[in-house]
Amino acid sequence: MAEVSRVLEDATWRLMGLPNVVGVGRGYKATGGVRGSTECIVVLVKKKFPRGVLETQAQVPAEVRGVPTDVVEVGEIRFLGTGTESMGDTAADTAGSTERTRRQERMRPARPGASIGHYQITAGTFGAVVWDRRTGEPLILSCNHVLANATSGRDGRATVGDPIVQPGAADGGTVERDQIAVLDRFVPIQMSGRVPACMASRVAERAVNSWLRATGAPARVEIVTTYIPFAVNTVDAALARPLHPGSIESPVLELGELQGITEPELGMSVKKSGRTTGVTTGEITSVDTTVSVVYSGNVTATFRDQIMTGSMADGGDSGSVLVDENVRAVGLLFAGSDKSTIYNKITNVVEALGVTFERP
């Protein structure tokens, strides 16, 4: 394992630079669709082509410094908000239609696994109740793109104190009737590519273009912000502070109380409880994974040290907590495709946010 990890660290960015590659991680080599016991470098691609179709320099090598590679088709990986197109069929054991409806309704006290969101987004999932290490107060854990509108902290998309509604707006939640919390803090998401400008810049842009039209000038101005290319993220995570502590409770819908946290392992059996697909099960197929996630258009965000499973989620499941068979938190779900689901390591999440899963 140590040797594979060292080679992976050295080779990740070279492999990520190949056309069609969207991720690189550590997993088990599969032959004929059957997973073996040999660790390898897993290379995630949008579409798998026969080796002869691609030019030599665009091909994934069969091995890197003696470590075998395994090319896995995952499609385009996207943030899993409800605005995301359907990810198709998920893993077995999804909740029935009655449970899915209940998850998307107003719930007081609200429980993890239910619909929630920043007032300007559609909806995501209330992941877990966690406790502030400094004050001991209970907080709502979910993704930045669920509770903080995918903000970098500099783009005006969200501000500490913004209303959080349960259920999310896509499920009929409104600030006037359904506000349950305020945005407490978040880890900024650094995007790469052509990112829309903030509100102040758009106002300035409209004013300048109005003046240009009035003067008959043929030119038009467009203000955009481009973040540093290849900026790397570790977590997509945020916290909300409930307006009333009694408005939330900690047992996760259909899973019960979380029993602490643990590190992910290849082949680990896992499950999650989410707003859209309820409880789904699967296993961890890749760890130490670097992945490029599409936000919109050609705007992407790169994440390192991630977990991957097979398809276990759909749009609106972002924020769900991934757990092992002992109901210990392993990851925070935030992205996926019709073939895979991606999670932050929960140990990275609690460290970044300064929280614990242990009730004071």
Residue 198 has pLDDT above 50, yes or no: yes
pLDDT in tens, 246-300: 999 999 999 999 999 999 999 999 999 999 999 999 999 999 999 999 988 788 9
82: three-class secondary structure by DSSP: coil
- Cα(55)–Cα(64) distance, integer angstroms: 18
Confidence category of residue 87, pLDDT binned at 50, 70, 90: very low
Average per-residue pLDDT for the chain: 89
204 Cβ contact list (under 8 Å, min separation 6): 223
* Single pTM value for the model: 0.87
Q: Parse the chain into domains and list their residue ranges.
A: 2-73, 78-190+229-356, 196-225
Neighbouring C-beta atoms of residue 304, cutoff 10 Å: 15
Query: 187: which DSSP letter?
Result: P
Q: Across-strand partners of 332? A: 344
Confidence category of residue 29, pLDDT binned at 50, 70, 90: very high
Find, among 333, 287, 308, 272, the residue nearest to 113 by Cα. Answer: 272
Residue 338, pLDDT score: 95
More confident: 221 or 356: 356
CB 121 within 8 A of CB 149: yes
- Cα(87)–Cα(65) distance, integer angstroms: 36
- Cα(84)–Cα(336) distance, integer angstroms: 10
271 Cβ contact list (under 8 Å, min separation 6): 93, 255, 279, 280, 281, 282, 312, 322, 323
More confident: 325 or 200: 325
Q: What number is the average pLDDT over the span 102-126?
A: 97
More confident: 208 or 151: 151
Residue 94 has pLDDT above 50, yes or no: no
- Cα(226)–Cα(153) distance, integer angstroms: 14
- Cα(30)–Cα(23) distance, integer angstroms: 17
Residue 306 has pLDDT above 70, yes or no: yes
- Cα(322)–Cα(264) distance, integer angstroms: 10
Interstrand relation of 124-125 and 355-356 (parallel, antiparallel or unpaired): unpaired
Q: What is the CA radius of gyration of the chain?
A: 21
Taking domain 78-190+229-356, whether its CATH number is 3.40.50.280 is answered by: no
Find, among 43, 32, 39, 35, the residue nearest to 66 by Cα. Answer: 39
Residue 93 has pLDDT above 60, yes or no: no
Share of the chain above pLDDT 70, in %: 87
Residue 199, pLDDT score: 53
Give the DSSP H/E element, type plus range, for residue 29.
strand 21-31
Residue 195, pLDDT score: 52
Residue 88 has pLDDT above 50, yes or no: no
Confidence category of residue 84, pLDDT binned at 50, 70, 90: very low
- Cα(229)–Cα(316) distance, integer angstroms: 28
